């Protein structure tokens, strides 16, 4: 049998060789004997099958967790649950956070629940990793913060809701408004719109919220990086003492409300209603999220945290340092 078979015949041959090797456990020598080529040809065929996308190899490395750090978090910040991922060989922290957070989310959801969510890269990573054997009955997914815009479809609010509808089999409740408008007067007018009021009413009744933890630093802020907020505006937010935000609601290192003027233009769930949601899952990691996570924990914005061990240790250290400097 010639190694030079082309077109569909060649693809079929490569698939046959790959199945014999990867699925049936035949050695390269055994396969070579069966189809009448040399062992070195089989080796080249296996490489070709991977290069052509006929074979996709996925490594499901187990994610290790630090239960002691999780316990410390729960005790110190009165959390319902904490999941702390050990920083290992994997370089894709966001993917690891998403895998763990997706399992946490599924465990918390029940038939008839309302799931509220905003938007962001951590939320997008969590949605990406969601995998269910069957849909959860009568789930509704409510958008808690207005849309970022069509330019960033993967982690914009509308895109997140659509993907959650597909993954969970639920009905999406869309907040058809931008997340930020020019001033309080425009925000007030939009918030009087019936459809927006109805969407936010669902959000206020949410049983579970899936939340990212944003940074107020322009270098790391989704608001600035997306091009919707100028650097000068983010610097003004920082000058109020803000270190981070959850669902657009900014807070300082102590968890106190900050950037009041900026928030006046937000179209989203009010902070008191956000904190009233029984289960609030925060997903965040990385050095840039240390102060935002600390502020979110102190302010009670989240009561379940999914983060990585390096970040959590830095959060705890920053907490102690901040307490000492305040004395």
Closest CA to 253 of 179, 325, 180: 325
Q: What is the pLDDT of residue 1?
A: 43
State the Cα–Cα distance between residues 179 and 316, nearest whole angstrom. 32
Q: What is the pLDDT of residue 323?
A: 63
Sign of the four-CA dihedral 310, 313, 319, 320:
negative
Average pLDDT along the chain, 327 residues, taken 10 residues at a time: 57 88 86 88 88 79 90 97 85 90 96 94 94 90 84 71 93 92 89 94 97 93 82 94 96 96 93 98 96 98 97 94 61
Burial of 183 (0-12, 13-18, 19+ CB in 10 A): exposed
The region, left, alpha or beta by phi > 0 then psi within -120 to 50, assigned to residue 25 is left
By DSSP bridging, strand 208-212 and strand 249-252 are unpaired
Q: What is the pLDDT of residue 5?
A: 42
Q: What is the pLDDT of residue 303?
A: 98
For the whole model, what pTM was predicted?
A: 0.82
Kindly list the structural domains of the chain, giving each domain's residue range(s) and its CATH number in brackets, ordered by start: 7-51 (1.10.10), 67-326 (3.40.50.1360)
Give the full edge-to-edge strand order of the sheet including 249-252: 214-215, 242-246, 249-252
Q: What is the pLDDT of residue 25?
A: 83
Give the helix ranges, DSSP H, for 52-92: 67-77
State the Cα–Cα distance between residues 205 and 94, nearest whole angstrom. 29
3-state SS assignment for residue 159: helix
Q: What is the pLDDT of residue 154?
A: 58
């Amino acid at each position: 049998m010639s190694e030079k078979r082309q077109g569909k015949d060649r693809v079929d041959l490569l698939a046959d060789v790959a199945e014999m090797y990867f699925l049936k456990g035949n050695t390269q020598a055994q396969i070579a004997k069966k189809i009448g080529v040399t062992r070195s040809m089989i080796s080249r065929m296996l490489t070709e099958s991977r290069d052509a996308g006929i074979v996709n190899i996925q490594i499901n490395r187990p994610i290790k967790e630090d239960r002691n750090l999780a316990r410390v978090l729960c005790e110190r910040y009165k959390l319902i649950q904490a999941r702390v991922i050990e920083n290992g060989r994997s370089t894709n922290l966001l993917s690891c956070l998403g895998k763990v957070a997706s399992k946490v989310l599924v465990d918390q959801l029940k038939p008839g629940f309302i799931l509220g969510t905003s938007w962001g890269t951590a939320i997008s990573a969590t949605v990406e990793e969601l995998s269910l054997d069957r849909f959860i009955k009568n789930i509704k997914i409510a958008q808690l913060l207005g849309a970022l815009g069509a330019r960033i479809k993967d982690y914009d609010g509308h895109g997140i809701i659509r993907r959650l509808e597909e993954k969970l089999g639920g009905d999406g409740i869309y907040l058809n408004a931008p997340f930020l408008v020019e001033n309080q007067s425009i925000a007030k007018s939009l918030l009087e719109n019936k459809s927006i009021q109805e969407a936010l009413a669902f959000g206020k009744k949410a049983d579970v919220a899936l939340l990212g933890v944003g940074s107020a630093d322009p270098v790391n802020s989704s608001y600035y990086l997306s091009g919707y907020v100028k650097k000068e505006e983010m610097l003004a937010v920082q000058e109020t003492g803000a270190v981070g935000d959850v669902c657009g609601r900014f807070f300082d290192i102590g968890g106190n409300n900050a950037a009041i003027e900026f928030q006046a233009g937000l179209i989203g769930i009010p902070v008191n209603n956000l904190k009233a949601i029984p289960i609030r899952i925060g997903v965040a990691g990385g050095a840039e999220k240390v102060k935002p996570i600390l502020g979110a924990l102190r302010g009670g914005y989240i009561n379940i945290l999914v983060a990585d061990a390096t970040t959590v240790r830095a959060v705890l250290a920053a907490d102690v340092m901040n307490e000492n400097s305040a004395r």
